[in-house]
Chains A and B, each alone.
Chain A
Amino acid sequence: MRSSRILAGLAAVAVAGAIGMASLPAYAEGDTIKVGILHSLSGTMAISETTLKDTMLFLIDEQNKKGGLLGKMLEPVVVDPASDWPLFAEKARELISVDGVDVVFGCWTSVSRKSVLPVFKELDSILFYPVQYEGEESERNVFYTGAAPNQQAIPAVDYLMNEEGVERWVLEGTDYVYPRTTNKILEAYLKAKGVADEDIMINYTPFGFSDWQTEVSAIKAFGSAGKKTAVVSTVNGDANVPFYKELGNQGISAEDIPVVAFSVGEEELAGLDTGPLVGHLAAWNYFESVDTPENADFIDAWHAYIGNDDRVTNDPMEAHYIGFNMWVKAVEAAGTTDPDAVIDALPGTSVPNLSGGYSAMMPNHHITKPVLIGEIQDDGQFDIVWQTPGLVPGDAWSDYLPDSAVLISDWRAPLSCGNFNTATGTCGGSAQ
């Protein structure tokens, strides 16, 4: 009896809370523009996503100092999807329909992005997605400010092939969609470049893998065939630390077998003694060590905001920086935060990036970026050893997979299609 009364009481409180929250936007409407932040603050992905939440709060704060947007202040709405993919969809729905946000910045893993897609389509809102991903997607409601494979993986392989003379390749990845798709693209690309089947080794390990002894000695064995060997690593998140530790302990130095990683940035190296890793590579579109006045200002402002000079900056943070400024500019151009108007205004918008150039939003909802290759230094930073001469436009559909090579994406008026099949001349051809 007693417990049922408590339950009833709890339910009443919950209902009251829900009503209170639902009534809030109506009260606040007109005074502020709401910006949704959908990053995990607990669970496995908190390690990467918490920083992005801070970055968004920092960017919104900066914008408000400049007087806000359209004469209104920006108001961040932070939710915690707790690294739980279905919860991402629920929280996205809550942000859009309950809190009434005009734009959402969020998601890290591809599976979380796939989980919120239907929500953004149904409620017709805007998502800015800041992380490098496997490509093979272009949606009207999503703007991809991270790198597509041709803005990260392909240039990295080119660098190793041309500058280091690599002839034998280990594609090492965590077993999920991003490494599998990226490796499929890379394998097709390497074969197109004349690399033989026996010179490519592909291996996958589970999430959070920590015992790398067998894998590392397999890499060592594969590398002793008399040809220059390199490892292309799509190993994700936490598994990188034990992987690099094992590499260091087994004495694989970057001069012998360099490892180029697509998921290892300043943030990941912060938990690691990088002494034995000097010379291993990473490919990104931004490094904290980029030597430009814009970047120095950004880092100084970030340190001042967060109150800690040891906090590093990284590539997805720059992606949010670019994405947020693009959205601001598009809203100013459209004169409204109405999603449809902003979606139409965004392609063609061009804003400064932190590496000294301008990044532009393209009709396929990907952006142009430079590609940088950095070598790990013993202070946990990267020395940029190579960069593309110009900007690389992100390609939604890879040219190296036969199914997607015929697809193009253009969300501008006459075509308005994310997956137009140039062979059949119809919209809706799918690569998957």
Chain B
Amino acid sequence: MPARTKPSLVTRIAGTALLLVLALFASVAPAGAQTLSEAAAALVQKLPDGSYSDRAEVVTQLAATGESDLAPLLQALRDGDLYVVNADKRVVIAERKGSNYEISDPISGAALGEVGQRDAEKIKVNNSLRRTIDSAMGQLTLMSPDPANRRAAAENILKTADPETIDLIDAALAEEADPAIAAILNEARAVIVLRNDFPADEQLAAVATLKARGDRDALAVLTGVQGTASAEIRPAVDDAIGDIQDVLAIWAAGQNVWYGISLGSVLLLAAIGLAITFGVMGVINMAHGEIVMLGAYTTFVVQDAIRNNAPELFDYSLAIALPLAFLVTALVGIAIERGIIRWLYGRPLETLLATWGLSLILQQAVRTIFGPNNREVGNPSFMSGAFDLGQLSITWNRMWIVVFALAVFAILLAVLNRTPLGLQMRAVTQNRRMASSMGIRTPFVDALTFGLGSGIAGMAGVALSQIDNVSPNLGQGYIIDSFMVVVFGGVGNLWGTLVGALTLGVANKFLEPYAGAVLGKIVILVFIILFIQRRPRGLFALKGRAVEQ
């Protein structure tokens, strides 16, 4: 508990929990008033002046007042939304509105009108100041009635582990009903106990607490104190470090597998359209990467339209972009097939050169229309951030891309094996003349097959826009990998593409930590060259007469 508690204020929210909190925080101020004590208000007025370290000093003093109404002000300061009005030196929260700032009172939230952009000065923060604010916020909101706030506060306290806060932690622990928050507070206490001069038995208990946590943060604290630990607790610290490292090593292997699957899914997405155009039709399409790029730009156009017209739909932007990207790229694909490729069937070298030239034309066209710079494609909220699975941190965007890649694969497989169009495609590619004799319009099927492969590539572009740059060069980075996957997996076999992509992904990610990204990639390429020497038809070679053509 802070040594001196100034009169606290009643906030909007009532309730027994709050009363408990207020009881802790000494006296109760008049209800409904949203004002600070004079001392705190004077401190706030000092915020704009001086250097970052002066500002940090003021924030520490603000935290010491224990007035929880300061929380929104500190949050605004942390977010860089706190300004000082040049005219009356008033500290306000400002929000950009056109060329003006909309200002409001940082404590009461009351709107104060607008000021011009040059009439208010931002109160700047840097990283170390942000850390101080986090710690202060932790202290101020640790007693908040809202469990989410309390949890954030506890995590802030754990991060900074300021020895001054130990009394506050003890007071909060006595009140805390939520076991998850209590656990964080206990860990925060353990960190403080370990880092400072506390009795050996308390420190031993602290080591046990951290050992139970068992993650990287716990390891960081333990390694940090390893050198300075007293003889009594040293063995326990060493022991805990050893145990945590053993567990983490196992998780690291799991992590490599996951990263491999994730990379594999990206390779699969990039290659699966090519598995149709190259694998099934035998067309060497060097413009495949550019079709992926067109899909990504479709996403950009869709998001841009949504941002300008209906921002509330932003989370659905990818769902809207997917069918559009498929349509756009499928049409481009059909145009390419009808316009260029159909004149070049059976002449792979000319096809290669023509489509390579086409790839340059498409790139420069996009560069001319959209400009050479990267375009911003945002992550919808469900694709941002990460979740923890044990000691594994899995990012949502990678997770959804894995799901999406497998879904696309399944749908494509179903189309090829279960629909009349799929049947005709397979018939045409296996024996064109026979199919033609049976009444199949082979040129029509050719165009549709190429369109399907291109459409799939466009959908891959939507997914790749979430993890890569949307720039005219997007496709170049994937074309080599795509061919690699298709050739390795076995030309003409979708399952081969799946297994090939995942194998290459996992192998790459297991090599990377040891060999580095550059060498890892070289090793994989050498491996594929040797593999193709042994099995020229790839992992899953097609058998039968079709192969001989």
Kindly state whether residue A29 has any CB partner on chain B within 8 Å. no
CB contacts under 8 Å to B, within A142-164, are: 163-164
Given A204-B517, A206-B517, A383-B80: A279 touches B126 (CB 8 Å cut-off): yes
How many chain A residues sit at the interface, stated as a range, is: 35 or more
Given A227-B224, A238-B473: A270 touches B374 (CB 8 Å cut-off): yes
Kindly state whether residue B335 has any CB partner on chain A within 8 Å. no
Contact yes or no, A270 B517, CB < 8 A:
no
- Collect the chain A residues with CB atoms within 8 Å of residue B518's CB: 175, 204-206
Cα A375 to Cα B470 in complex, Å, equals: 24
Kindly state whether residue A388 has any CB partner on chain B within 8 Å. no
Shortest distance from the beta carbon of B205 to any chain A beta carbon, whole Å: 20
- Collect the chain A residues with CB atoms within 8 Å of residue B385's CB: 249, 251
Contact yes or no, A242 B80, CB < 8 A:
no
Kindly state whether residue B225 has any CB partner on chain A within 8 Å. yes
Cα A388 to Cα B322 in complex, Å, equals: 50
Bitwise interface map of A from 82 to 122 toward B, beta carbon under 8 Å scored 1, else 0: 00000000000000000000000000000000000000000
Contact yes or no, B134 A50, CB < 8 A:
no
Kindly state whether residue B513 has any CB partner on chain A within 8 Å. yes
Given A241-B374, A250-B395: A205 touches B517 (CB 8 Å cut-off): yes
Shortest distance from the beta carbon of A420 to any chain B beta carbon, whole Å: 36
Nearest chain A residue, comparing its CB with the CB of B227 = A226
Kindly state whether residue A209 has any CB partner on chain B within 8 Å. yes
Contact yes or no, B375 A218, CB < 8 A:
no
Given A271-B375, A279-B127, A279-B130: A224 touches B469 (CB 8 Å cut-off): no
- Collect the chain B residues with CB atoms within 8 Å of residue A210's CB: 467-469, 477
Cα A223 to Cα B375 in complex, Å, equals: 32
A208, A221, A271, A279: the one contacting B473 at CB < 8 Å is A208
CB contacts under 8 Å to A, within B360-413, are: 363-364, 367, 371-376, 378-379, 384-386, 393, 395-398
- Collect the chain B residues with CB atoms within 8 Å of residue A215's CB: 512, 517
Contact yes or no, B469 A271, CB < 8 A:
yes
Contact yes or no, B127 A164, CB < 8 A:
yes
A205, A224, A251, A379: the one contacting B220 at CB < 8 Å is A224
Given A206-B521, A241-B374: A220 touches B216 (CB 8 Å cut-off): yes
Contact yes or no, B467 A242, CB < 8 A:
yes
Kindly state whether residue A47 has any CB partner on chain B within 8 Å. yes
Contact yes or no, B469 A242, CB < 8 A:
yes
Nearest chain A residue, comparing its CB with the CB of B219 = A224
B159, B222, B379, B509: the one contacting A214 at CB < 8 Å is B509
- Collect the chain B residues with CB atoms within 8 Å of residue A268's CB: 374
- Collect the chain B residues with CB atoms within 8 Å of residue A221's CB: 216
Kindly state whether residue B262 has any CB partner on chain A within 8 Å. yes
Shortest distance from the beta carbon of A72 to any chain B beta carbon, whole Å: 32
Nearest chain A residue, comparing its CB with the CB of B255 = A217
Nearest chain A residue, comparing its CB with the CB of B133 = A255
Kindly state whether residue B21 has any CB partner on chain A within 8 Å. no
Bitwise interface map of A from 117 to 133 toward B, beta carbon under 8 Å scored 1, else 0: 00000000000000000
Nearest chain B residue, comparing its CB with the CB of A241 = B469
Contact yes or no, B393 A251, CB < 8 A:
yes
B223, B224, B374: the one contacting A238 at CB < 8 Å is B374
Most chain A beta-carbon contacts within 10 A, residue among B256, B397, B471: B471
Contact yes or no, B379 A255, CB < 8 A:
no
Contact yes or no, A47 B221, CB < 8 A:
no
Kindly state whether residue B356 has any CB partner on chain A within 8 Å. no
- Collect the chain A residues with CB atoms within 8 Å of residue B221's CB: 226
Contact yes or no, B395 A273, CB < 8 A:
no
- Collect the chain B residues with CB atoms within 8 Å of residue A217's CB: 255, 259, 393
Kindly state whether residue B131 has any CB partner on chain A within 8 Å. yes
Kindly state whether residue B516 has any CB partner on chain A within 8 Å. yes
Nearest chain B residue, comparing its CB with the CB of A41 = B372
Kindly state whether residue A426 has any CB partner on chain B within 8 Å. no
- Collect the chain B residues with CB atoms within 8 Å of residue A227's CB: 224
B126, B226, B470: the one contacting A271 at CB < 8 Å is B470
CB contacts under 8 Å to B, within A254-270, are: 254-256, 258, 267-268, 270
Nearest chain B residue, comparing its CB with the CB of A40 = B372
Kindly state whether residue A211 has any CB partner on chain B within 8 Å. yes
Kindly state whether residue B263 has any CB partner on chain A within 8 Å. yes
- Collect the chain A residues with CB atoms within 8 Å of residue B255's CB: 217
B224, B376, B471: the one contacting A273 at CB < 8 Å is B376
Contact yes or no, B128 A213, CB < 8 A:
no
Contact yes or no, B469 A238, CB < 8 A:
yes
- Collect the chain A residues with CB atoms within 8 Å of residue B79's CB: 378
Given A226-B225, A270-B374, A273-B376: A213 touches B471 (CB 8 Å cut-off): no
Contact yes or no, A209 B374, CB < 8 A:
no
Cα A215 to Cα B255 in complex, Å, equals: 12
- Collect the chain A residues with CB atoms within 8 Å of residue B54's CB: none
Kindly state whether residue A44 has any CB partner on chain B within 8 Å. yes
Chain B interface residue count, Cβ-Cβ cutoff 8 angstroms? 64
Contact yes or no, B127 A225, CB < 8 A:
no
Given A47-B374, A224-B216, A250-B395: A255 touches B127 (CB 8 Å cut-off): yes
B126, B224, B256, B468: the one contacting A241 at CB < 8 Å is B468
Contact yes or no, B395 A214, CB < 8 A:
no
Given A221-B216, A226-B224: A271 touches B134 (CB 8 Å cut-off): no
Contact yes or no, B373 A267, CB < 8 A:
yes
Shortest distance from the beta carbon of B150 to any chain A beta carbon, whole Å: 20
Cα A163 to Cα B473 in complex, Å, equals: 39
CB contacts under 8 Å to B, within A178-225, are: 203-206, 208-211, 213-215, 217-218, 220-221, 223-225
Kindly state whether residue A134 has any CB partner on chain B within 8 Å. no
Nearest chain B residue, comparing its CB with the CB of A220 = B216
A211, A255, A278: the one contacting B131 at CB < 8 Å is A255
Kindly state whether residue A377 has any CB partner on chain B within 8 Å. yes
Cα A268 to Cα B96 in complex, Å, equals: 23
Given A44-B473, A214-B513, A242-B468: A225 touches B223 (CB 8 Å cut-off): yes
- Collect the chain B residues with CB atoms within 8 Å of residue A175's CB: 518
Kindly state whether residue B495 has any CB partner on chain A within 8 Å. no
Kindly state whether residue A46 has any CB partner on chain B within 8 Å. yes
- Collect the chain A residues with CB atoms within 8 Å of residue B126's CB: 163, 279, 375, 383, 385
Given A204-B517, A224-B217, A249-B395: A238 touches B259 (CB 8 Å cut-off): no
Shortest distance from the beta carbon of A383 to any chain B beta carbon, whole Å: 5
Contact yes or no, B374 A271, CB < 8 A:
yes
- Collect the chain B residues with CB atoms within 8 Å of residue A267's CB: 373
Contact yes or no, A272 B259, CB < 8 A:
no
Kindly state whether residue A246 has any CB partner on chain B within 8 Å. yes
Given A206-B517, A249-B385: A254 touches B468 (CB 8 Å cut-off): no
- Collect the chain B residues with CB atoms within 8 Å of residue A412's CB: none
Nearest chain A residue, comparing its CB with the CB of B468 = A210
Bitwise interface map of A from 32 to 52 toward B, beta carbon under 8 Å scored 1, else 0: 000000000110101100100
Bitwise interface map of A from 364 to 389 toward B, beta carbon under 8 Å scored 1, else 0: 00000000000101110001010000
Contact yes or no, A46 B379, CB < 8 A:
no
Cα A208 to Cα B367 in complex, Å, equals: 18
Cα A379 to Cα B95 in complex, Å, equals: 12
CB contacts under 8 Å to A, within B513-544, are: 513, 516-518, 521
Interface residues of A (CB under 8 A from B): 41-42, 44, 46-47, 50, 163-164, 175, 203-206, 208-211, 213-215, 217-218, 220-221, 223-227, 238, 241-242, 245-246, 248-251, 254-256, 258, 267-268, 270-273, 276, 278-279, 375, 377-379, 383, 385
29 pairs of residues in contact across A and B, judged by CB atoms under 8 Å = A46-B367, A46-B372, A50-B373, A164-B127, A164-B128, A175-B518, A211-B263, A211-B266, A214-B256, A214-B509, A214-B513, A214-B517, A217-B259, A223-B220, A224-B216, A225-B223, A226-B225, A238-B374, A238-B473, A241-B469, A255-B130, A270-B374, A271-B373, A273-B378, A278-B80, A279-B126, A383-B124, A385-B52, A385-B126
Q: A204-B517, A249-B385, A271-B373 are in contact. List 16 more A-B contacts (CB 8 A).
A: A50-B371, A205-B517, A211-B262, A214-B256, A221-B216, A224-B216, A224-B219, A226-B220, A238-B469, A241-B374, A245-B379, A249-B384, A250-B395, A251-B386, A256-B159, A271-B375
| Top 4 A-B pairs, shortest CB-CB distance | A226-B224, A271-B374, A224-B220, A46-B372
